[in-house]
Structure 1
Amino acid sequence: MDASPIDPSAKPRKLPRRPASTLAEKWTTVDGVDVFYRESPDPPADARVMAHVHGFGLSGRYLLPTAERLADEFHTYVPDLPGFGRSGKAKGMLDIPDLAHAALRFFDDRGVDKATLVGNSMGCPVIIEFAHRYPERIDRAVLVSPAGGLYNQPLRRAIGQLSSDAPREPFKMATVAVPDYVRFGVPSTLRMFRALTQYPSLQRLLEMRIPTLVVLGQRDPLLPHAHRVDEVASQTDSHVLVVLLEGAAHAINYSHPGQLAHVIRAFMDDRPIENDPAWPGHVRLYEVHRGKHHPPAKA
């Protein structure tokens, strides 16, 4: 049978827009602010809730590679906090406590009673503040490449650190990060940087009394060396487990999602932190510190 003739006057059929994520993209309104978020499309009924918190000036887009790998096992949320990404802006400029409160109100809106929070960079101080203010609402904390404090001051030093980090990240990371930074704007950057570097991250981290995983990139110029982290963490009777990922820089959630998802699963199930033999030779995990009161790994 002959094929039907093509009508040259017909308009070409538009292909549907490729979804930015395998997670469902949704909107809600929290305290009068439009909030954009992504969510597991069909999580198991008994799945533990896990929310991913983005970094400075960014949206949740760059967290998706890791979040998607965990979305079948955990009821996953990846919100753009107010003032970031596609979400609207709240009145006034948000600081770290404000962002922690915004995360709480997002959970209230979604009916989430308790969650594990996974953050990168600035998302880590937000999680630390959340645990400080609302300890009954957080189950565990995963802090990936925590930023802020004296090591990133002054601004010119932080800019230099970010410049050093950029060539160490996957090239595609720029296609995600640059539009987010442009949207965030210079005035917001200056105000948010001041709030981030003045926040007492280390003090609050050492006060936390929930199981906490810290994942550091061995090539991350924004963080002190892992030995310094171990030295500081050892000064307190903490619940902190520190793991070093060889070959990674700052944006581990984007550059090494398979390895990060692997270590998060092990942490959530209190299993030993072990390397997968299928990984490239330059990628390995090393346990740097295990707090005295961290749950012992189940063999």
Structure 2
Amino acid sequence: MTSPQSASRPGQPRRLPRKPASGLTEKWTRIDGVDVFYRESPVVPQDPRVMAHIHGFGLSGRYLLPTAERLADEFHTYVPDLPGFGRSGKRKDMLDIPDLAQAAVDFFDDRGVEKATLVGNSMGCPVIVEFAHRYPDRIDRAVLVSPAGGVFNQPLRRAIRQLSADAPREPVRMARVAVPDYVRFGVPSTMRMFRSLTQYPTLQRLLEMRLPTLVVLGQRDPLLPHAHRVDEIASQTDSHVLVVLLEGAAHAINFSHPDQLAHVIRSFMDDKPIENDPLWPGHVRLYEVHRGKNHPPIQG
């Protein structure tokens, strides 16, 4: 394990963008021979709870920054690029969902983090579910935003159609973040990672989880089943799952609706009712899809 370096790659100088992508501090560390790039709260809050944001398929953590920044003053925040993604180095063996969960644990070990809340988007959600399955004592709470994978995204041509339908529903500026990440990730990695993502038993693992879990869905997300199907699935669990639908949002909620998502996460973390803000645009509202009996209801 090594100490983080904010301006250079471990062992070799590396130029960072002239203008940092966010207000979080950009750092490097080296884990098992792989350079890992991550962002961290510039100032650690007093008595902080640790929160790590886990990115989606083919992407870096950059598109998660709008939400992460809004929570960084209240939580000791980390936004890593997992090995093989974004600016982090690649491993010789191709990573799958269990490997990425192990990579997250290795990152926490490297940073001296014993336990954290994990916030994931898309592929990051099954990574979190696997993390909770293998290391239940290392995770405090789980926030699953637009979870992807499973039979609903099979086969690949169907997933491509879903992504194509989602693209025009996202902010135009999302392309400036996502396209360079996808190009860097590459076609061979995409094929292998897609196979791992869609074969991973996300639903089975989710139903086995016994920790407070928030699931946030976009009402306009073509990559997920209809809300009534999600409610049907969530009803198979006990009282640990809260499912919220965000009207007007598609798949990349962490990027497109950071104020609303940060609000939901903040309320969930403090066990408070989730309330709609009257200052939000008229097409943006929160709706409860499923609530375990221990979760306060949405109000407003």
- The normalised TM-score by structure 2 is 0.92
Q: Does the 8 Å contact 1:148/1:199 carry over to 2? A: yes
* Cα distance in 1 between the residues matched to 2:42 and 2:68: 12
Aligned to 1:207: 208
Q: Does the 8 Å contact 2:108/2:114 carry over to 1? A: yes
| Deviation per residue, 1:102-130 (Å, 9 max, x gap) | 00000000000000000000000000000
Alpha-carbon shift at residue 231 of structure 1 (Å): 0.8
SS in 1 for 2:90: coil
Aligned length: 283
Q: Does the 8 Å contact 2:288/2:298 carry over to 1? A: no
Aligned to 1:254: 255
The structure with the larger Rg is 1
- The normalised TM-score by structure 1 is 0.93
* Cα distance in 2 between the residues matched to 1:37 and 1:166: 26
* Cα distance in 2 between the residues matched to 1:19 and 1:146: 28
* Cα distance in 1 between the residues matched to 2:126 and 2:23: 28
Q: Does the 8 Å contact 2:242/2:295 carry over to 1? A: no
Q: Does the 8 Å contact 1:270/1:297 carry over to 2? A: no
Aligned to 1:76: 77
Detail structure 1 runs of 4+ shifted over 3 Å in the superposition. Answer: 294-299
Give 1:218's aligned amino acid: Q
SS in 2 for 1:244: strand
Q: Does the 8 Å contact 1:207/1:238 carry over to 2? A: no
* Cα distance in 1 between the residues matched to 2:237 and 2:62: 35
Give 2:288's aligned amino acid: E
Aligned to 2:112: 111
Q: 1:178 to 1:117 in 2, by over 3 A?
A: same
CA RMSD of aligned residues (A): 1.3
Q: 1:1-299 alignment to 2 at 5 Å?
A: 17-292=18-293, 294-296=294-296
Aligned to 2:7: none
| Deviation per residue, 1:245-268 (Å, 9 max, x gap) | 000000000000000000000000
Alpha-carbon shift at residue 18 of structure 1 (Å): 1.8
| Deviation per residue, 1:33-83 (Å, 9 max, x gap) | 100000000021311000000000000000000000000000000000000
Alpha-carbon shift at residue 236 of structure 1 (Å): 2.5
Q: 1:223 to 1:298 in 2, by over 3 A?
A: closer
SS in 2 for 1:88: coil
Q: Which runs of 5+ in 1 are unaligned?
A: 1-15
Quick check: 142-151 or 40-49, which moved more?
40-49
Give 2:50's aligned amino acid: V
Q: Does the 8 Å contact 1:206/1:238 carry over to 2? A: no
Give 2:145's aligned amino acid: V
